[in-house]
A and B are shown apart, each in its own frame.
Chain A
Amino acid sequence: DTGVSQNPRHKITKRGQNVTFRCDPISEHNRLYWYRQTLGQGPEFLTYFQNEAQLEKSRLLSDRFSAERPKGSFSTLEIQRTEQGDSAMYLCASSFDLGVSGEKLFFGSGTQLSVL
Chain B
Amino acid sequence: QKEVEQNSGPLSVPEGAIASLNCTYSDRGSQSFFWYRQYSGKSPELIMFIYSNGDKEDGRFTAQLNKASQYVSLLIRDSQPSDSATYLCATSGGGFKTIFGAGTRLFVKA
Contacts and interface: CB of A to CB of B under 8 A. Distances in A.
Interface of A: 31, 33, 35, 40-45, 48, 50, 55-56, 91, 95, 98, 100-105, 107-110
**Chain A interface mostly helix, strand, loop or mixed?**
strand
Contact of A40 (B4, B8, B51, B96): B8
A59 B49 CA distance: 27
Given A42-B100, A42-B102, A103 B95 contact: no
A47 to B, nearest CB: 10
Contacts of B42: 109
Interface of B: 4, 8, 31-32, 34, 36, 42-46, 49-51, 88, 90, 92, 95-103
| Ranked 4 nearest A-B pairs via Cβ | A102-B32, A42-B100, A107-B43, A102-B92
A43 B45 CA distance: 12
A42 B31 contact: no
A41 B49 contact: no
Contacts of A56: 95, 97
Nearest to B92: A102
Contacts of B97: 33, 45, 48, 56
B31 A110 contact: no
B98 A102 contact: yes
A31 B92 CA distance: 14
A107 B51 contact: no
B43 A109 contact: yes
A98 B49 contact: yes
Given A104-B46, A105-B44, 5 more contacts: A42-B90, A48-B96, A101-B49, A105-B36, A105-B98
